[in-house]
C-alpha cells in the first residue's frame, strides 16, 4: 500500500527493514533513536493502534511520522481526536519538502475521519523549524498554555526547557 507517490518520493506504512535503516541513519547523524522505539512503532502499527508513515527516496527511509487515532495525553486526551506525533526527517533529506509531504499525508488520513487534527511541539530551539512549519500550515495553539512532562504547567511553575516542554496545537481540516 502507498499513501503517496511523486517522482522518487513515496510515503508508505512502516516495514520491518525501516527499523534498522532508521537506527543506523539517526546514529550516523548523532541522534539517539533506539531500535526499541521503532520496534514499538512497528508493533503498534501491526496491531492497528497507530499509523506510521514513512517517506522513502530511492529505497532509503528518509523520514517518518506517527499518527495516533486518538490523542492519549495533553488537552486533547481521549476526546477522539487524531494526534500527529514524532515527525522526523533525516538531515540529509531536509529542506526538500519531505516533511511537508509527510504532514500532507497525515492530515489527509486524519481528514477521512475527523475535521480536526492535533499535535504537540517542543519549545526549545531544536524544534524551531517544526514550530515555523506548523504555524505556516495553519496550526494554532489550543489555549491551555505549556505542558511539561504530560501535565499542564501552572502559572509561575518551574520546568526545564527540554523535550518534555510542549505547546499543543490543532488544525481544522
CATH number for the domain including 56?
A: 3.40.630.30
**What is the reported pTM?**
0.94
Q: Which residues lie below 8 Å from residue 60, measured CB to CB, with a gap of 6+? A: 21, 25
Percent of the chain with pLDDT over 90: 99
CA angle centred on 36, ends 19 and 74, rounded to 5°: 110
Amino acid 21: pLDDT: 96
Each residue's pLDDT tens digit, 42-70: 999 999 999 999 999 999 999 999 999 99
At 93-137, the pLDDT tens digits run 999 999 999 999 999 999 999 999 999 999 999 999 999 999 999
Confidence (pLDDT) at 147: 97
pLDDT at 114: 95
Residues 23, 40 contacting (CB under 8 angstroms): no
Q: Which residue reads 475535521 in cell numbers? A: 115
4: which strand partners?
11
The parent domain of residue 134 ranges over 4-172
pLDDT at 33: 94
Enter the C-alpha cell of residue 158.
Answer: 518551574
- Predicted local confidence at residue 172, as pLDDT: 97
Cβ neighbours around 17 below 10 Å, total: 10
3-state secondary structure the chain: CCCEEECCEEEEECCHHHHHHHHHHHHHCCCCCCHHHHHHHHHHHHCCCCEEEEEEECCEEEEEEEEECCCCCCCCCCCCCCEEEEEEECHHHCCCCHHHHHHHHHHHHHHCCCCEEEEEEECCHHHHHHHHHHHHCCCEEEEEEEEECCEECCCCCCCCCCCCEEEEEEEEC
Find out whether 106 and 84 touch, Cβ atoms under 8 Å. Answer: yes
What's the farthest any 2 CA atoms get from each other in the chain?
50
pLDDT given for residue 8 in this prediction: 94
**The pLDDT value given to residue 162:** 96
Total domains present in the chain: 1
Amino acid at each position: 500500500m502507498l499513501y503517496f507517490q511523486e517522482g522518487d518520493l513515496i510515503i508508505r506504512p512502516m516495514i520491518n527493514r525501516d527499523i534498522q535503516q532508521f537506527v543506523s541513519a539517526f546514529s550516523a547523524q548523532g541522534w539517539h533513536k533506539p531500535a526499541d522505539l521503532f520496534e514499538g512503532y512497528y508493533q503498534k502499527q501491526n496491531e492497528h493502534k497507530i499509523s506510521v508513515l514513512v517517506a522513502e527516496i530511492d529505497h532509503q527511509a528518509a523520514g517518518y511520522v506517527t499518527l495516533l487515532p486518538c490523542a492519549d495525553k495533553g488537552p486533547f486526551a481521549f476526546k477522539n481526536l487524531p494526534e500527529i506525533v514524532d515527525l522526523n526527517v533525516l538531515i540529509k533529506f531536509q529542506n526538500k519538502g519531505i516533511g511537508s509531504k509527510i504532514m500532507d499525508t497525515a492530515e489527509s488520513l486524519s481528514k477521512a475521519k475527523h475535521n480536526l487534527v492535533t499535535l504537540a511541539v517542543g519549545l526549545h530551539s531544536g524544534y524551531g523549524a517544526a514550530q515555523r512549519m506548523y504555524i505556516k500550515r495553519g496550526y494554532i495553539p489550543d489555549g491551555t498554555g505549556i505542558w511539561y512532562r504530560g501535565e499542564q504547567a501552572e502559572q509561575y511553575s518551574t520546568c526545564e526547557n527540554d523535550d518534555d516542554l510542549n505547546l499543543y496545537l490543532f488544525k481544522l481540516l
